[in-house]
Amino acid sequence: MLENLSTPELSSLLALSPSIDQIGTQERIARIQARSIKGAAKIQGLRMALSMIDLTTLEGKDTPAKVRQLCFKAQHLHDQAADLPTVAAVCVYPTMVGVAKKALGNSGIKVASVSTAFPSGQAPFEIKKLDTLYALENGADEIDMVVSRGRFLSGDYQFVYDEIAAIKELCRMSRLKVIFETGELDSLDQVRKISDLAIAAGADFIKTSTGKIQPAATFPVVLTMLGAIKDHFDKTGQMIGMKPAGGISSSKLALQHLLLVKEVLGEAWLSNEWYRFGASSLANDLLMQYQKHLTGKYQSASYFSID
């Protein structure tokens, strides 16, 4: 169990968060984007990206039938192509966890549940706990919680920290992903600060966004979070996972993100143990690119199931 930090301890921790220069961050990303990912490296990258997807449906209109369809897709991405990996997890609301768990059976695909009054996080703490417990009791392997951005922006870091630490305690063996909703945070300095805070509070993964707010998983935000993970690893030897979510819908973007991870964190993070894409439409684009490489023909969306 983590030793909870007192307010002065937390303050001194956050004082160590380095400042982030936005323009320099963009320049680093431009270097990544100028790289050329071709041939076998591309095929390998596409497969890797597929295996890292948290296939997601988070809609008010979600139903058990919809979730079951998604779970099938998770296990059978494109059976016309041989030997494809499955996605890493299916990500749903707490009410759908039981359905997903059953549909995925012993496929090895995890069930991730959003919680803590996703997406706004605007609910009493007790309710957030119940929300999480409900998901866990229904078999969630992973919890994607949202942080209280309002509290964070008002400077109540202790509140945000305590909330994460408390949810982490509920999670026990389930892995905790902490969603920052970076689109509401305004600056990379804030992104870095909240990354350091969440990691200190026990996050197993840090995640950019809910997918409900723009901008979501932009490169500067992702690079800033990777920087926090790298510094934490260098200091403690502990690996933290990363999950960009929202806005990564093309193969090209996904491959560039993977290259960013490779260069910033190292190849140890290039597995779905440590890296996930929160996405719904990315899978089909990866599949179409993959097929294109196998067949040499540009693909049509009509041949790939839309779930």
Q: Where do contacts with another protein occur on this chain (CB under 8 A)?
A: 18-28, 31, 34-41, 44-45, 48, 51, 85, 88, 108, 183-188, 214-215, 218, 220-221, 227, 234, 258-259, 262-263, 267-268, 270-273
**CB 222 → another protein: shortest distance, Å?**
12
**CB 133 → another protein: shortest distance, Å?**
26
Q: Cβ(113)–Cβ(139) under 8 Å?
A: no
The contacts of residue 54 (CB under 8 Å, 6+ apart) are: 87, 88, 89, 90, 91, 112, 243, 245, 276, 277, 278, 279
**CB 193 → another protein: shortest distance, Å?**
13
**Dist CA 129 CA 55 (whole Å):** 24
Burial class, 132, CB count within 10 angstroms (exposed 0-12 / middle 13-18 / buried 19+): buried
Q: Is 144 a catalytic residue?
A: yes
Residue 295 neighbours by CB distance under 10 Å: 10
Q: CB-wise, 116 or 218, nearer to another protein?
A: 218
CA 56 to chain centre: 11
| Catalytic member of 141, 144, 204, 285 | 144
**CB 66 → another protein: shortest distance, Å?**
26
Q: Is 83 a catalytic residue?
A: no
Q: CB-wise, 144 or 181, nearer to another protein?
A: 181
Q: CB-wise, 187 or 281, nearer to another protein?
A: 187
Quote the DSSP letter at residue 16: T
Q: CB-wise, 35 or 76, nearer to another protein?
A: 35
Q: CB-wise, 36 or 302, nearer to another protein?
A: 36
| Catalytic member of 110, 129, 193, 207 | 207
Find the DSSP H helices in the chain.
7-15, 22-33, 39-51, 64-75, 97-104, 125-137, 149-153, 157-171, 188-201, 219-236, 251-264, 282-295
**CB 41 → another protein: shortest distance, Å?**
5
Q: Is 207 a catalytic residue?
A: yes
- Residues with a known catalytic role: 144, 207, 243
